Amino acid sequence: MRDDQVWGIHRRHLLAGAGAGLTLAALPLRADTALTPACGDRAAVTASQGEGPYFTPDSPLKGDFTGDTAPGEVLVLQGFVLDASCRPVAGAVVGLWHADRRGRYDNSGFSLRGHQYTDEAGRYRFETCTPGDYPGRARHYHVKVRAPKGPLLTTQLYFPDDPGRLRDFGYKPALELALDGGNGRRTGRFDFVVRG
Ligand SMILES: [Fe+2]
């Protein structure tokens, strides 16, 4: 990977995206995005995990994945990107990719793949589905996060209510989502702590 790229996203896109983040921040907040950073007990940066075999570079700028998969329960994946001092990081890129409800990845296109930039309060947000499981793995999201001047964090996020976590040696409780809601729409919160 060249030095001017972040997993296939060129720095000029990062700069453009930082502006897009500010635009997103101007949108009115909905109830499920009214978050508050709470990181007083977070002394360490978020643990990294491998990207797995299904990463595709050059993902689109996209936060709404709900049209990429069959209708069903929506999961709003959201939270903050924070630095090691618990300060929100604006303009951080957050890339997400994951399996569909049946446990299959789109390896020829960009279904269930995209990236967003944090707004000036450090918030990111995606609307998507809960990934299906597949042999040997717990349900998981793949994520890459990078502060504007920081190193790239590659990791995975897990579901604390997934029985599959008990048979997945890669599962880490520290990478669990905080789940809430129901009746067709859940929220999963995770705050990333990265080096700035
Ligand atoms: Fe995976």
pLDDT, tens digit (0-9, with 9 covering 90-100), for 127-142: 999 999 888 899 999 9
Distance from Cα 171 to the centre of ligand 1, integer Å: 12
Distance from Cα 73 to the centre of ligand 1, integer Å: 20
Distance from Cα 19 to the centre of ligand 1, integer Å: 30
Distance from Cα 75 to the centre of ligand 1, integer Å: 17
Could you tell me the CA-to-CA distances from 65 to 42, 72, 114, 152, 174 in Å, in that order?
30, 12, 8, 23, 25
- Answer yes or no: is pLDDT of 161 > 70: yes
Amino acid at 68: D
Distance from Cα 184 to the centre of ligand 1, integer Å: 24
Q: Show the domains of the chain with their CATH numbers.
A: 5-194 (2.60.130.10)
Distance from Cα 138 to the centre of ligand 1, integer Å: 9
- Answer yes or no: is pLDDT of 28 > 90: no
Distance from Cα 104 to the centre of ligand 1, integer Å: 9
Distance from Cα 140 to the centre of ligand 1, integer Å: 6
Distance from Cα 15 to the centre of ligand 1, integer Å: 29
CA dist., res. 134 & res. 84, Å (int)? 34
Distance from Cα 99 to the centre of ligand 1, integer Å: 7
Residue 34: pLDDT band with limits 50, 70, 90: low
* pLDDT score of 27: 37
Most confident residue range from 16-20, 35-39, 59-63, 80-84 = 59-63
Q: What is the mean pLDDT of the chain?
A: 84
* pLDDT score of 37: 65
Distance from Cα 132 to the centre of ligand 1, integer Å: 10
